[in-house]
Amino acid sequence: MIKKIAVLLILTIGLISPSSFATEFRVPGAAASYDPSKWQKEPEYIDRAFGKFTYGVWNFMMGWMQLARKPYEASVLGDNLFVGIGKGIAYSIADMAGGAANALTFPITALKIPIPEGGIEAREF
């Protein structure tokens, strides 16, 4: 049973991992920008709350992908690979922690918890 679960987990990670390389190339800046998310622009409360919850869950579940994405972006853009690895570690922690905080506080839509570069959104994949 444990072997079957391990094989399914490895296959799932293998299928999801290539999507982490689907990058949206941006001009590298000196510091991370904190862009507002789409859910913050919604006029209705229920849309903002649902958007904040899904945004938080998505970032919490997919934040680990920054571990591979940032070093890849750094190598493609010609930046220092070690800086890319550091950004990957920092951004994965920030995305997962910010996603958990957004998912837990979704009823309070006035509370905007920033995630570097707007976090991971579904449009990036």
User: What is the SS3 assignment for 60-86?
Assistant: HHHHHHHHHHHHHHHHHHCCCHHHHHH
* CA nearest to 85, candidates 74, 100, 93, 77: 74
Instruction: Supply the pLDDT for residue 2.
Output: 80
State the average pLDDT for the chain: 79
Instruction: Supply the pLDDT for residue 36.
Output: 66
**DSSP 3-state assignment of 107?**
coil
Mean pLDDT in residue range 92-101: 92
Q: Does the pLDDT of residue 25 top 70, yes or no?
A: no
Delimit the domains of the chain by residue range.
2-24+33-124
Instruction: Supply the pLDDT for residue 96.
Output: 93
List, for residues 48-87, the tens digit of each pLDDT value: 899 889 989 999 999 898 998 889 989 888 888 899 999 9
pLDDT band with cut points at 50, 70 and 90 for residue 122: low
Residues 6+ apart with CB under 8 A from 95: 59, 60, 62, 63, 66, 115, 116, 119, 120
pTM of the model: 0.65
Residue 69 and residue 20 in contact, taking contact as beta carbons nearer than 8 Å: yes
Q: How far apart are CA 59 and CA 23, in angstroms?
A: 16
Q: For CA atoms 112, 50, 61, 34, give the dihedral sign.
A: negative
- The H-or-E segment that residue 25 falls in is none
pLDDT band with cut points at 50, 70 and 90 for residue 118: confident
**Percent of the chain scoring above 90 in pLDDT:** 23
